[in-house]
Amino acid sequence: YTSPNVTGFFTSFNLMMETIKEIEKWDHEKEMNREKEDKMNARREKTKKKHGRPEVDKDLTINRIIANRQASEHFNSKVFRDVPTRLTDLLIRLIEHGPYEFPFDPSELGDLFDMASEVLAEEPSVVEIDFGVHVIGNVEGSYIDLFRWFSTFGWPPKEKFVFLGGAIHPQNAFSLEVLALILALKMKMPNKVYLIRGYAEGQPLNMGDRFPPRISETLREVAAKALSRLPLAVLINKQILCIHSSLPNGMTTVDEINQIRRPLVSYHKNSLEAYLFDAVPDLILQKPIDQIGDNRE
């Protein structure tokens, strides 16, 4: 990376390459498991054709057989599908490409946003995690800064990150790269990367002029679907509540946030959601006017 804009940002380049190797290692192990499962299925099918019934381990009880069958079907449908393989390839290419405009394939982006919708919908509104995490505020579509944080602190899976919303910005075309990298890491390592909802995540995603208008609009809709399912807060070690903006004075328990239903498309001006995403904290309001910056966090 020779661009003067990113000189010194890759002091942990070796760690970044280790991340790529770790991803490739996981993919290799996944492929080995897939081949093993395919061989077992082929053997069962062969036995079924030969004897008219599937091969069954006699030591298993009926309940264990049912449980194993359900687990196997869930495993195949969730892990051994084509989309994660493509996403892994996208993740590696994003990391190798560096903090520059990325030549996205629209269909690949659509797959990423679709899969993110499914994964994010399964998380609670308040995600609870333990200590040992880096908490990052507004990135605002600054792809260079995102790479700098990873290069400074370490890349997942070595390190764990929480992004407090504001990862994208309606006026920054690099928001697409920022969102794609965070979501690709999230899909690959869901317990190492967390992104919560902020004000900007409710705004149209800036696609720039890289796609035809119709494709850009379709991708915005798919991205909005994923972003509407983002968690609303993170509770670290049951002690530290991380949100994007502020809390109302009348709020008494974290469960009030957990009760907010998602997907969240719109909210009222004075609602709890409005405080979480779009309110200036009282602590900031008490400062002199000349000390208040544009960053609402």
Dist. CA 234–CA 70, nearest whole Å? 32
Contact status, residue 129 vs residue 160, Cβ threshold 8 Å: yes
Question: How many Cα atoms are found within 13 Å in the side-chain-facing hemisphere of 127?
Answer: 27
The letter for the amino acid at 91 is L
pLDDT at 26: 61
- What is the CA angle 192-196-114, rounded to 5? 80
Domain ranges of the chain: 103-291
Q: Which fold has domain 103-291?
A: Purple Acid Phosphatase; chain A, domain 2 (3.60.21)
Long-range contacts, 15-19 (Cβ 8 Å, 24+):
15/151, 15/154, 15/155, 15/158, 16/95, 16/150, 16/151, 16/155, 18/155, 18/158, 19/95, 19/155, 19/156, 19/157, 19/158
pLDDT at 193: 96
pLDDT at 66: 40
Dist. CA 67–CA 60, nearest whole Å? 10
Contact status, residue 136 vs residue 130, Cβ threshold 8 Å: no
Give the pairing of strands 161-163 and 240-242: unpaired
pLDDT at 44: 63
pLDDT in tens, the chain (297 residues): 334 444 444 445 566 666 777 676 666 666 676 676 776 667 666 655 555 544 444 444 434 434 444 444 443 333 333 444 567 789 989 998 889 999 999 999 999 999 999 999 999 999 999 999 999 999 999 999 999 999 899 999 899 999 999 999 989 989 999 999 999 999 999 999 999 998 889 888 988 889 999 999 999 999 999 999 999 999 999 999 998 888 887 788 888 898 888 887 877 777 787 778 876 554 443 333 333 334 433
| Token pair 């208008």: residue | 213
Gap between the terminal Cα atoms of the chain: 32
